A and B are shown apart, each in its own frame.
Chain A
């Protein structure tokens, strides 16, 4: 009789579980839209060098500021470059830099947060005050300083962005750890005499992983906006590499009569951010960390 107690919940391997989560995410319209947008951008970033109709850096005075037409779908910019080509190529750097940046943020922020949450006491106090001190520095000023000292190469941008966006993850990871370490299974592991490393690895990480991943996904969209802001200010991608932030910055002066050259990159950037946000929300819901649930009344 005890055999048939569990009827629905069969054992699944990791791949099936991931697929299950994706399926749950796609079962709601918002999740489906988010996933589609993100997937579209990723595919576009991978294939755009092969499908771009023009050369992104080909300057031509003959085709300056042309309105959208059959030849130039999104028109041309002030240097006569095809806006469609530059728009589909413009997400590549941003996506790569922020993806690896978020990974770094997740790793250092997550691990430091878990560690602080577990050990507590003075170490926790000191580390958290340092993190708070960094949180109080306007990140964009600090980024400008770093970039002007070390240059704007991706080797600088990825760790720098990763560092600044990881601070918030430290807090989330620490709070999630606090929730978990009050539970008796941690007390039980401690009483058995497991080491801190073993407790972190075996008992805490499986229970805070979801919360940290969701936070990381949210940070990714913020970082994307941050990176584009840097480009907009001229400290991100250097010309002539196409980049949304840079394109918006270059075209904004001409907005009143050549709106197309500024609208296309804006649509590209904002759709990706919205897509990531929707996906992160659906991801959180699928994992059961619903940030918008109200208390049952």
Chain B
């Protein structure tokens, strides 16, 4: 068990900048992977975690080169091997499972053929043995009906199934070491939990060592025996998973853990100030100095070494780590939100809203109507009160973003009405809305890289709405822009910057500022934090909450992340296949009794705590279309009671906690079932 199969020694990897300076993105990294052990490498984007993981299979991205150190796989240096030698090791001894299996599989080859190819390359089996092995492998990764699965093409599988195929291919060569680069990041919550469970099973079953790279401490917590925390190209903390997650003794890890929203906590997570330094910008001192609240003058001048602490079996890179040991009981705290004094004025009403993506038939086109019996989104009734934050939650395909788009006027509704202020009906056609209504409803997008014009300066970006709605110009325009930047905690000097010169969090702040420039009544937030790093996510959530408390804005917040929703929202609506399942005040939706779908979602949430394991109550099947009759969740429901679920739309039941559930099971019975 204690045999070391891969060991990285003093590895530094870097590149030459345009000015000819040598900039290192990995600095003096040393770690060992033991046989049968799963090591989680965690860090924010740009921390060098992927570079480290790839170097462990002897791969260095174009433009980068090793500055010093070695990567010893069974005491042979991978970085010195020829490509011929590496071919013999990759796939056979070290295999990799990529982040996006959908892109890693060849689209026009059948699954079975692709696995067969891996087997032909890495084993000496003959044709019949290989065929047997293929279905064995497909069975092992728990794909349904392996015999027919082998004859399918990648696009016929769901994201989770594609990821399983990638696992099967990696296992084909019976590798000693499996490298997983964010293998569950693009997947839905329930699928993610299932894939992680499979990986854990495989690690135990085959005794393969695994290196699991992720930004998500929740996922890392579920699979890892040992965790390596990276920051700015260095290992800052390394030790047994339980110790790292429960008693982190490095201030960065501590801050990271505190900034993750948790299901058990209602308030907002604490955020860390600032952002990770860019490669090459650290000259002296500790790389975390700027953001650390334990930092002293000593830290500014001297960079700490990785220090081994025997009693904790942990390596830590911090001078003041002893001070943290006493603070650790504070991990389970959060910032409480100011309760919104609901004036109970309804500012936006969705009444029987249905939205269809179906193509219009020729006659319907002439009559300008949509005749889709089974629309993507159906019968949505939500009344949104002034000043509240309502969250729409669901997996991909639940119609949450679709609803948001139709509120913004970007998608036409099929049926139903969207009423704004005093029951005035908003046209579903953007061009028919009056400018003031357009101003009143603003959007913030998921990815600030896409939502900010890369060729505009921040000043130009923010002046767009100000010019359009308020006809500002000259000094007044400038003053307003500076005010907006101040509101989102950015300095005046950001005005002349381009989006590419900003960090992810700063970009999203600019996007928030642009939305607030219109002085809107309602802001539609479409997964606004899911493209951000955890510590930045916490800061943006806190900013949104602060702005709301100051300005009384109403948020419609769309997210797939139940923990984030728990942190920010006052009310939650759970959607499945474009139909509402449950709606209610957020503290109640997160309590039982819940709709079976909410129960499944809550069970699949990954918490950064080795003691909280996800509960897998339903299959992770992906349904392409909502069912035509009956309950929308009938296909996957673990609590299905019979034919009634397939034939009749379930009634709304109001629980004693005030949440409305749409289920055929009596609500008291549901409560006792879920206890």
A residues in contact (CB < 8 Å) with B? 1-9, 11, 183-185, 187-194, 202-203, 206-207, 296
Name which residue of chain A comes closest to B280, CB basis: A7
Contact B454 A190 (CB under 8 A): no
- Which 10 residue pairs of A and B lie closest in terms of their CB atoms, listed nearest first? A206-B455, A184-B451, A193-B438, A184-B445, A184-B450, A185-B453, A1-B290, A183-B450, A191-B408, A6-B501
Q: Name the residue in A3, A191, A206 with the highest tally of chain B Cβ atoms < 10 Å from its Cβ.
A: A191
Chain A-chain B contacts (Cβ-Cβ < 8 Å), number:
81
CB < 8 Å neighbour of B453 from A5, A7, A11, A203: A203
Is the beta-carbon distance between B497 and A6 smaller than 8 angstroms? yes
Checking B19, B61, B445 against A188 with a beta-carbon cut-off of 8 angstroms, the contacting residue is: B445
List of A residues within 8 angstroms of B278 by Cβ: 5, 7
Docked complex Cα distance between A9 and B275 (Å): 18
Q: A191-B443, A296-B62 in contact; A185/B468 too (CB < 8 A)?
A: no
- Are the C-beta atoms of B497 and A207 separated by less than 8 Å? no
A296 to B281, CA, bound (A): 27
Contact residues in B for A4 (Cβ distance below 8 Å): 281
A185-B453, A203-B453 known; A193+B435 contact, CB < 8 A: yes
Q: A193 touches which one: B433, B493, B501 (CB < 8 A)?
A: B433
With A2-B274, A183-B450, A184-B447 known as contacts, the answer to whether A190 contacts B410 (CB < 8 A) is yes
Q: How far is the CA of A202 from the CA of B460 in the complex (A)?
A: 9
Classify chain B's interface size: 35 or more
A256 to chain B, nearest CB (A): 52
B514 CB contacts on chain A under 8 angstroms: 188
Cα distance A2–B277 in the bound complex, in angstroms: 10
Q: Which residue of B lies closest to A185 (CB)?
A: B453
Chain A contacts of B630 at CB under 8 A?
A: none
Q: Find out whether the CB atom of A185 lies under 8 angstroms from the CB atom of B518.
A: no
Does the CB pair A5–B443 fall under 8 Å? no
Given contacts A1-B290, A194-B464, contact A207 B454 (CB under 8 A): yes
> Quick one: given A194-B464, A296-B61, are A185 and B451 in contact (CB under 8 Å)?
yes
Task: With CB as the reference atom, state the residue of chain A lying closest to B498.
Answer: A9
Residue contact B453 to A192, C-beta cutoff 8 Å: no
Report the bound CA distance from A7 to B469 in whole Å: 35
Docked CA distance A118–B500 (Å): 25
- Give Cα distance in the complex from A206 to B452, angstroms: 13
Task: Give the residues in chain B near A189, CB-CB below 8 Å.
Answer: 464
Within the complex, the shortest CB–CB distance from B472 to chain A, in Å, comes to 15
Write 19 A-B pairs (CB below 8 A) sorted by A numbering.
A1-B290, A2-B490, A2-B506, A5-B275, A6-B497, A184-B451, A187-B445, A187-B451, A188-B443, A188-B445, A192-B438, A192-B442, A192-B468, A193-B430, A202-B456, A206-B453, A206-B456, A207-B455, A296-B62
Besides A183-B450, A206-B453, A296-B61, 10 more A-B contacts (Cβ < 8 Å) are A2-B491, A185-B453, A191-B430, A192-B469, A192-B518, A193-B433, A193-B435, A206-B455, A206-B456, A296-B62
Contact residues in A for B446 (Cβ distance below 8 Å): 184
Give the chain B neighbours of A6 by CB distance below 8 A.
497, 501
Q: Is the CB of B465 within 8 A of A192?
A: yes
B496 at the interface (CB under 8 A from A): yes
Nearest-CB distance from B103 to chain A (Å)?
11
Which positions 456-493 of chain B face chain A at CB distance < 8 Å?
456, 460, 464-465, 468-469, 490-491, 493
Q: State A179–B19 Cα separation when bound (angstroms).
A: 32
When C-beta atoms are compared, the residue in chain B nearest to A210 turns out to be: B455
Q: Are A202 and B464 in contact (CB under 8 A)?
A: yes
Is B503 located at the chain interface by the 8 A CB criterion?
yes
Q: A188-B443, A191-B408, A193-B468 are in contact. Are A5 and B452 (CB under 8 A)?
A: no
Closest A residue by C-beta to B454: A207
Q: Is B409 engaged at the interface, CB distance under 8 Å to the other chain?
A: yes
User: In the complex, A296 Cα to B430 Cα: how many Å?
Assistant: 42
Closest-CB distance, A47 to chain B (whole angstroms): 37
How far, in whole Å, are A183 and B455 apart by their CA atoms in the complex? 13
Bound-state Cα–Cα, A234 to B60, Å: 59
Per the bound structure, the CA–CA distance linking A5 and B282 in Å amounts to: 11
Distance from B415 Cβ to chain A, minimum over Cβ atoms (Å)? 22
Residues of A within 8 A of B493 (CB): 3
Q: Which residues of A contact B500 (CB under 8 A)?
A: 9
CA distance A260 to B464 in the complex (A): 62
Complex contacts, A207 vs chain B, CB 8 Å: 453-455
CB–CB A7/B445 < 8 A: no
CB contacts (< 8 Å) of B61 on chain A: these are 296
CA distance A75 to B501 in the complex (A): 59
A5-B503 contact, Cβ under 8 Å, with A11-B496, A191-B443: yes
Q: List residues of chain A with CB within 8 A of the CB of B518.
A: 192
CA distance A55 to B17 in the complex (A): 55
Contacts of A5 in B (CB 8 A): 275, 278, 281, 503
Residue of A nearest to B489 (CB): A2
CB distance from A286 to the nearest CB of B (A): 13
Q: Smallest distance from the beta carbon of A210 to chain B beta carbons, Å?
A: 9
Minimal Cβ-Cβ distance residue in A for B457: A11
Assembled-state Cα–Cα distance A202/B501 (Å): 20
Residues of B within 8 A of A202 (CB): 453, 456, 460, 464
Contact, CB under 8 Å: B290 / A191: no
Rounded to whole Å, the gap between the CB of A14 and the closest CB of chain B is: 13
Distance of A193 Cα from B443 Cα, bound (Å): 12
Q: Which residue of B lies closest to A204 (CB)?
A: B453
Most buried by B among A2, A187, A188, A191: A188
The CA-CA distance from A187 to B281 in the complex, in Å, is 36
Complex: how many Å from CA A194 to CA B468? 7
C-alpha spacing A7/B17, complex, angstroms: 13
Given contacts A1-B274, A7-B281, A296-B61, contact A190 B453 (CB under 8 A): no
Bound CA span A194–B491, Å:
28
State A148–B497 Cα separation when bound (angstroms): 55
Q: In the bound complex, what is the Cα–Cα distance between A9 and B518 (angstroms)?
A: 30
